[in-house]
Amino acid sequence: MKKLLLLILVLTPFLSKSQDLIVFRNGDKVNCKITKVDSLNIYYNFQKGERSISSYVAKNEIRSYQLFNKQDSLSSHNDSIKTIQNSPVIIDTSVYVKHSFKWINMITYSQKYGIHANGWALQYYGYVLKKDSKWIFPCVFGLESFTINTNYFSQFNYQSANISYWMAGISPFRKLNDYFYINLGLQLLVGSEQLKDFNNNESDNVIFGIAPSQGIYFIPKSKFGITLGLGLYEKLLTSEVYQNDLGFRFELGIKF
């Protein structure tokens, strides 16, 4: 009995080290029993508390794995267990880069100079920034105010007009380098117009439209910073007095 207990105590360190080992690309390790290896995956069993769990991992998620083969041998004097440690199998030697995701907010102010109207706009951009992605797809919400040029407005049979609308849409950015981006946007316009003709008759209309835009932006890498943008914009609307436009915009804002 004493010899049996002594044998268990002697063999315990070897048995504990005889587990197979998987090293993940992020540096995590798992001691387990590898049951199968194929061209895509590694299948293994491991203990979690009192439970035995079977799982698998894709080879492109690990850096290496190592097998420990156990072989029984019997000497003339006593019983022993011989453990053979195989060399690690290296799957990936590239540097592990953790994928980072950040939510970015930008609020900007724009001055707009169009063929038919001049004005200003306030925009909010919100998007997820992925470190390894060339494209970002922000949601955009905006409010705009403008004054229609007199020469353009005079061709319609109204003495005054008050137009207001909200803008919402997408505005993808294509990364050129760490600081500069190309922007291609498309926004939907929803609002209303109040018109007064030369007989002092007033009317209210709901208006809809679209506003494509193109531009180039400077966006700093830092968490907080000043953003700048230059670009072109177009408009098509259902308004009675402001039906289309083409113009240039200068945009200034803050990233946070």
pLDDT tens string 33-54: 999 999 899 999 999 888 999 9
CA–centroid distance for 175 within its chain: 13
Mean of the pLDDT values across residues 209-238? 95
Tokens 């990233």 appear where? 255
Which pair of tokens denotes residue 90? 């290296």
pLDDT tens string 162-216: 988 887 888 899 999 989 999 998 989 999 999 999 999 999 999 999 999 999 9
Please report which confidence band the pLDDT of residue 27 belongs to, taking 50, 70 and 90 as the band edges.
confident
Note the pLDDT of residue 96: 59
Which pair of tokens denotes residue 177? 């380098």
pLDDT tens string 143-154: 888 899 999 999
27 burial level (CB within 10 Å; 0-12, 13-18, 19+): exposed
Q: What is the CATH number of domain 101-255?
A: 2.40.160.20
CA distance 32 to 111: 63
Listed by start position, the domains of the chain span: 2-90, 101-255
pLDDT of residue 123 exceeding 50, the answer is: yes
Per CATH, the architecture of 2-90 is what? Roll (2.30)
- The whole-chain average pLDDT of the chain stands at 84
Note the pLDDT of residue 153: 94
pLDDT of residue 228 exceeding 90, the answer is: yes
**Long-range CB contact pairs, 215-218, < 8 A, 24+:** 215/182, 215/183, 215/185, 215/249, 215/251, 216/180, 216/181, 216/182, 216/183, 217/173, 217/180, 217/181, 217/182, 217/183, 217/251, 218/179, 218/180
Please report which confidence band the pLDDT of residue 15 belongs to, taking 50, 70 and 90 as the band edges.
very low
pLDDT tens string 59-115: 988 999 998 865 444 444 444 444 455 677 777 767 656 666 789 999 999 999 999
Same fold, 2-90 and 101-255: no
